[in-house]
Amino acid sequence: MESQENPPINFAIVGCGRIAQRHAKHIDNIGQLTAVCDVVENRAVELGSEYRARAFTDLDNMLAEATDVDVVSICTPNGLHAEHTIRAVQAGYHVLCEKPMALSVADCGRMIKEAEKANRRLFVVKQNRFNPPVAAVKELVDSGQLGRIYSVQLNCFWNRHQQYYEESAWRGSKDLDGGVLYTQFSHFIDIMYWLVGDVEETQAVTDNFNHVDTTEFADTGVVTLQFRNGAIGGIHFTTNAHGGNMEGSITLFGEKGTVKIGGEYLNELEYQDLADHAIEGIRSSTSANDYGTYQGSMSNHDKVYENLIRVFRGDEEAATVGYEGLKTVEIIEKVYSVVPVRAS
């Protein structure tokens, strides 16, 4: 129950697809959902009815009329994040943007600039940072207990079948989806950046083996990375794991030890061999975002919203800001720019 000193924060959701259902659930626990918007009217009406929120089919109408809203959560297709975020902050609203922040560094920059001009906050969803093993390894790196990081290996082995792409027309398109590194694996790349730092150079070989009829981009790639701090790394990604998601892991090889976070979603501490330290008491996160016919990354959106509330109360800093969202996009853009996809 909110006190007089801490009145509830009102939210709106733009884009009423599957991820919006998860946002709405967590909003309902910590604030109030007062408006929803989707170009497909029945989706907006259905979600709005469930949470007693006004339903709109036009974003500008919602931004003009839903004046009780404090924060707009952007849950639209990837290629629309920049446009919708900019329109919301220009209209005077704070924004929480789903991943990826945008499909280009230039668009991320415009989002940050417009939010600053409007004096509005821009949050970016990076819920895997809250996975207990990830948080523990971040503390290990920041404290220097891993020493200098020599190299890193990121594995992203998931499955995306034809039905997944048939469920939503935007999936698989270069303009609205962007590619598997944006849609499926941007969270993993964010964790790599968060732990190791900026990437200076990339080389990549990619191919589209199994999704030629459903996507306009590669479903598989092997990438080498040179980090600005001197570390080297690799990414192996695919959406061709047979039958279902197989692995999402990151292994750090450092001066004072080796550590691996694995499982399907960076949710298990699989290996550690540290010179003078041991990570203890880390529980595995086992609940992924379940969408029926497929699964996504870890279900930590509750922690994203809890952080947002505490930021507005002045109790803590934002877990992820626009600049960090931009850095993830920057790495993906570097990877996709170095080699054209080959269609098998």
- Residues 220 and 201: their CA atoms lie apart, in Å, by 19
- Class of the CATH domain delimited by 130-295+322-343: alpha beta
CATH top-level class of 10-127: alpha beta
**pLDDT tens digit sequence for 86-121:** 999 999 999 999 999 999 999 999 999 999 999 999
How far is the CA of 302 from the CAs of 37, 92, 186, 266, 309, in angstroms?
Answer: 21, 25, 19, 18, 11
Between helix 81-90 and helix 105-117 the angle, nearest 10°, is 10
Confidence of residue 285 (pLDDT cuts 50, 70, 90): low
Q: Are strands 94-97 and 71-74 parallel, antiparallel or unpaired?
A: parallel
Residue 269: strand pairing partners: 261
107 close to 261: Cβ distance less than 8 angstroms: no
Dihedral Cα 283, 192, 196, 249, nearest 10 deg:
50
pLDDT at residue 342, rounded to an integer? 60
Domains of the chain, residue spans: 10-127, 130-295+322-343
Q: Give 223-249 pLDDT, tens digit per residue.
A: 999 999 999 999 999 999 999 999 999
What's the pLDDT score for residue 294? 46
Q: What is the mean pLDDT of residues 63-71?
A: 97
What six digits make up the tokens of 50? Answer: 């469930």
Q: Which among 220, 175, 191, 197 is positioned nearest to 133, based on CA atoms?
A: 191
pLDDT at 7 (0 to 100): 83
DSSP at 285: P
- 3-state DSSP helix/strand/coil % of the chain, to nearest 5: 35, 25, 40
Considering the chain, what is the average pLDDT of its residues? 93
Return the residue matching tokens 């279900």.
299
What single-letter amino acid sits at 236? Answer: H
Note whether 10-127 and 130-295+322-343 share their fold: no
